[in-house]
Structure 1
Amino acid sequence: MRPPLARRQSIRSGRLTLVAEVAGEGPPVILLHGFPENAHSWRHQTGPIAAAGFSAWALNLRGYPPSEVSSHQADYHLRRLADDVAAAVAATGHARAAIVGHDWGGIIAWTFAGLYPALLDKLIILNAPHLQVYREKVWRSSQLLRSLYVGLFQLPLLPEKLLAAGDFRIVREMFRLMPARRGAFQRADIDRYVAGLSRPGALKAAIDYYRENVRSDGMALAASARVTAPTAIIWGERDPALGSFLIDGTERFAPRLTVHRIPDAGHWVQNEAPEEVNRYLLAFLRRN
């Protein structure tokens, strides 16, 4: 079967215009990527979702070109990021949408679910803990060490200089070496991510997600989220940044929760184990 053709959709949210890559027709599934990616993160999912009778909306988050970049740190507060998802739901022409989020996209998805329950059909989270569970468990030594980079990202200028040095050498090595299943990213995939981060202001914007929400009430807003919709977590257990114990206890905040663990996949689970992720994702989307 020929994969459905993708098209670009502009979405106005506040002062910024966002761009989604859309494939297919039918009930919308909005896909939210993480750091430091863009909508290309969902290259293995959009075709199968569209072929299954849904419309796949892979959103480039604000600050990630071709979506617009803001130079104001406050524009990356989680409330505004959740508002972007609400604007995307409105752009689909449907009253509700299924939301799929990975990494930062997952944190945004948790926040959106708490703020906009009437717009949410189903919630699917990939390797992104509920922020209240994270806050309770981050002080474990095994997780604290993994999270030290968040403190580094609070510094001005230095994180941008480190990540951009040597044609984004650290970023490139992240995608080459961090996946538990090597070869999850081809050179062309990595080049596409780096090209986005190289656009004026984009790298600062990506890091401002961390700065703004650690320094403001953004994390507390996400931690307060309660989800009444059916919720699924797909978790690559060999994640070097997030311990799998961060899932435990999530049912307190999402009582209609199911969990699917993939033992030999890591942080970028949708790229490392796309067939397994797609099989579980589609089964969950089709569930009544």
Structure 2
Amino acid sequence: MDLTQQRLSFYQRDNLTFDVIDSGPLDGKPFVMLHGFPETNEIWRETSEILNSHGYRTYAVNQRGYSLTAQPKKTSDYKSSLLVEDINTLLDIIGQSVYLVGHDWGAIIAWDIARKYPQKIKHLIAISVPHRAAVLRSMLTSNQIIKSYYIWLFQLPLISELLFEEFPKLSESLLRNTGMNAQQILDFRQRMIKEKRIHYAIKWYKALPYELNLKLMGNIKIPALFIWGKYDAAVSKRSVELNHRYMNSQYKEVILDENHWIPVQSYVLLTKHILDTI
């Protein structure tokens, strides 16, 4: 497929169809942008507009469980290895090396892609969540295990689904406490609850025990930019301090006076750091 001649609104892998927001010059150097939990590819609208104005083309993907036509039922269908291959299929369609951007869970998948397919990535930009190994190591020496309480909560059968679907005021209060603003809460209510994505999104967490793979801890061998907000409710400073240990190439770290939701609340500053680095 020659993407310099047409827009890409969706692509397929196996029996799943993933929707994509493709914007910017058709011949622009490509960015692939991965959202996290509990958001969709809509979080990249403003960042994409700025990148597009600088001549870059952007592909913002709704990932497995978030695309309404890519929602397998089994928890094991949300293993990281499958999430990686979903995006690798898009990389093959694009057919040239890309700038890969990920936030939250999207950052985790971006780290994994950079490790497995370094030849397909020009530059990795990970936001809010460090390399898996840095996060796990920090649990032994910091409050990271406490900050990650929700991961253990989401392992309990039906509890997490009930939290979001039956106790919306409580779940939205928890999200608000992480720094989400009023518009983000409204977007969450519409895209995740009313459009019934939340049940599948939680499976990303439930699938973690299915893939305890030491290969996921390997070092990154391509240029990487990591951006973190020092008021992040989910990620400890110690995990950020450890991140450089897992970099074997050019590595830049930016710490902002922000919370976890940098792509939505600080997209101008985020995009400036991206453009200053790549």
TM-score by length of 2: 0.89
Report how far residue 233 of structure 1 moved.
0.3
- 1:208 alignment partner in structure 2: 203
- 2:18 alignment partner in structure 1: 18
1 CA distance for matches of 2:68 and 2:274? 27
Q: Please state whether the residue corresponding to 1:57 is helix, strand or coil.
A: strand
Aligned residue runs from structure 1 range 48-197, under 5 A: 48-92=50-94, 94-166=95-167, 168-179=168-179, 185-187=181-183, 189-197=184-192
1 CA distance for matches of 2:268 and 2:203? 33
Match for 2:258: what amino acid? Answer: A
Quickly say closer, same or farther: Cα 1:174–1:90, change in 2 above 3 A.
Answer: farther
- 2:252 alignment partner in structure 1: 258
Answer whether contact 2:75 2:203 (CA < 8 A) is retained.
yes
- 2:268 alignment partner in structure 1: 275
Report how far residue 275 of structure 1 moved.
1.7
Q: Which consecutive segments of 4 or more residues in structure 1 shift more than 4 A? A: none
Q: Please state whether the residue corresponding to 1:53 is helix, strand or coil.
A: coil
Quickly say closer, same or farther: Cα 1:193–1:13, change in 2 above 3 A.
Answer: farther
2 CA distance for matches of 1:139 and 1:35? 25
Quickly say closer, same or farther: Cα 1:119–1:238, change in 2 above 3 A.
Answer: same
- 1:198 alignment partner in structure 2: 193
- 1:131-179 alpha-carbon deviations (Å, 9 max, x no partner): 111111113452221112111111111110011124x334433443322
- 1:4 alignment partner in structure 2: none
Match for 2:88: what amino acid? Answer: A
2 CA distance for matches of 1:14 and 1:218? 24
Quickly say closer, same or farther: Cα 1:265–1:38, change in 2 above 3 A.
Answer: same
- 1:168-191 alpha-carbon deviations (Å, 9 max, x no partner): 334433443322xxxx6443x433
2 CA distance for matches of 1:169 and 1:221? 40
2 CA distance for matches of 1:79 and 1:102? 18
Which residue of 23, 26, 29 maps to 1:27?
29
Answer whether contact 2:144 2:239 (CA < 8 A) is retained.
no
2 CA distance for matches of 1:247 and 1:145? 16
Flag structure 1 segments of 5+ consecutive residues without an equivalent: 1-6
- 2:3 alignment partner in structure 1: none
1 CA distance for matches of 2:174 and 2:50? 27
Flag structure 2 segments of 5+ consecutive residues without an equivalent: 1-6
Which residue of 231, 235, 238 maps to 1:242?
235
- 1:223 alignment partner in structure 2: 217
Report how far residue 8 of structure 1 moved.
6.0
Quickly say closer, same or farther: Cα 1:55–1:218, change in 2 above 3 A.
Answer: farther
Answer whether contact 1:66 1:196 (CA < 8 A) is retained.
no
Q: Please state whether the residue corresponding to 1:44 is helix, strand or coil.
A: helix
2 CA distance for matches of 1:220 and 1:207? 23
1 CA distance for matches of 2:13 and 2:275? 29
Match for 1:269: what amino acid? Answer: I
Q: Please state whether the residue corresponding to 1:108 is helix, strand or coil.
A: helix
Q: Please state whether the residue corresponding to 1:20 is helix, strand or coil.
A: strand
Q: Identical aligned pairs, as a percentage?
A: 26
Report how far residue 205 of structure 1 moved.
1.4
Report how far residue 200 of structure 1 moved.
7.0
Answer whether contact 1:236 1:269 (CA < 8 A) is retained.
yes
Match for 1:283: what amino acid? Answer: D
Answer whether contact 2:18 2:69 (CA < 8 A) is retained.
yes
Answer whether contact 1:18 1:62 (CA < 8 A) is retained.
yes
Q: How many residues align?
A: 269
